[in-house]
């Protein structure tokens, strides 16, 4: 088991990466092919060990997760959150495991979340409202949040447009309405001790995301899924000023690599004095890394 690195030794903390393969070799290669075509990039699936090696070689730490869409697809996630947590524990110098629990699992999902925290030591939770088919502010989901909030762990929510189902007939059944970040305003009110991360520039609801993050102290924005050169000017403005302590480096790896993201950030108006916070200090505070 590898020890967690000292913060000073890290180049960056990537708060948004996906594990698409089990260490057994099973995975979601077909879904990746479709996503790669949509984003016009060459992607391949990584298991936790491979992803850890990728980030270790770059002196970075990565938050890793799968997405549990059992209700929508009828399939258990591959890899499971349990596998991700177990393998991540062996590579703690490079990866931090988040879990994913489909809210549609109901009471069984609440029990699963508690087990993932107390027995597997996950450090947070990933939700994808459009892929999982739920409104984040639906009271039916609150028992699941209660477990997360009880342990003061962060919950990361996909917001805005998604590449999942894009360009396919009927959008693959994916409904964008669930991922409006304004649905998380009620959640932030009702769970003030649960840190919330609004993942991605939230097109077409960027102003809503900025408003919620500005108004609610525990709400952050991760900058994953987009090349920084395409960031809306308003997002850049807030990242440089009022939200400079609440924006986080994230790539959506393997769809974007850390190298491309960082190179493209240099083509933006993000100020140099803000970058250390974006790259690691804001995430370190969120994740309790010192």
**Count of domains observed in the chain:** 1
The domain in which residue 148 lies consists of 7-287
The answer to whether position 2 is within a domain reads no
Q: Is 196 a domain residue? A: yes
Query: Pick from 273, 262, 267: which is nearest to 239 by CA?
Result: 273
> What tens digit of pLDDT does each residue of 165-217 get?
888 898 888 899 999 999 999 999 999 999 999 999 999 999 999 999 999 99
89: left (phi over 0), alpha (psi -120 to 50) or beta: alpha
Calculate what percentage of the chain has a pLDDT beyond 70. 92
Q: Is the peptide bond before 76 cis (omega within 30 degrees of 0)?
A: no
68 belongs to a structural domain: yes
With respect to residue 265, please indicate whether it lies within any of the assigned structural domains.
yes
Residue 4, pLDDT score: 81
Has residue 205 been placed in a domain?
yes
Residue 1 lies in a domain: no
Task: Please report the pLDDT score of residue 167 as a whole number.
Answer: 87
Buried b (16+ CB within 10 A) or exposed e, 65-92: bbbbbbbbeeeebbbbbbbbbbbbeebb
Question: What are the residues facing 64 on neighbouring strands?
Answer: 17, 97
Tell me whether residue 228 is in a domain.
yes
The 10s digit of each residue's pLDDT in 74-126 is 999 999 999 999 999 999 999 999 999 999 999 999 999 999 999 999 999 99
Q: Tell me, yes or no, whether 276 lies in a domain.
A: yes
Q: How would residue 163 be classed by pLDDT, with cut points 50, 70 and 90?
A: confident
- What is the pTM (predicted TM-score) of this model? 0.94
CATH number where 29 lies: 3.20.20.140
């Amino acid at each position: 088991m590898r020890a967690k690195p000292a913060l000073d030794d890290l180049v960056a903390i990537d708060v948004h990466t996906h594990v698409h393969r089990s260490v057994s070799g099973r995975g979601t290669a077909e879904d990746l092919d479709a996503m790669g075509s949509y984003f016009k990039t060459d992607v391949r699936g990584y298991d936790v060990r491979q992803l850890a090696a990728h980030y270790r070689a770059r002196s970075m730490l990565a938050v890793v997760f799968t997405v549990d869409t059992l209700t929508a697809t009828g399939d258990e996630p591959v890899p499971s959150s349990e596998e991700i947590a177990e393998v991540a524990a062996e590579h703690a110098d490079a990866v931090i495991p988040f879990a994913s629990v489909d809210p549609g699992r109901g009471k069984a999902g609440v029990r699963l979340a508690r087990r993932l925290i107390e027995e597997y030591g996950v450090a947070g939770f990933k939700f994808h409202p459009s892929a999982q088919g739920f409104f984040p502010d639906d009271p039916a989901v609150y028992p699941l949040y209660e477990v997360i909030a009880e342990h003061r762990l962060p919950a990361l929510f996909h917001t805005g447009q998604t590449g999942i189902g894009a360009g396919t007939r009927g959008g693959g059944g994916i409904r964008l309405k669930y991922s409006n970040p304004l649905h998380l305003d009620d959640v932030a009110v009702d769970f003030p001790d649960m840190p919330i991360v609004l993942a991605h520039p939230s097109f077409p609801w960027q102003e809503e995301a900025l408003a919620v993050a500005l108004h609610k102290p525990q709400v952050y924005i991760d900058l994953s899924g987009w090349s920084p050169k395409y960031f809306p000017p308003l997002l850049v403005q807030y990242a440089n000023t009022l939200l400079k302590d609440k924006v986080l480096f994230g790539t959506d790896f393997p769809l974007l690599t850390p190298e491309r993201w960082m190179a493209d950030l240099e083509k933006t108006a993000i100020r140099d004095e803000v970058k250390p916070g974006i790259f690691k200090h804001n995430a370190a505070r969120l994740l309790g890394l010192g």
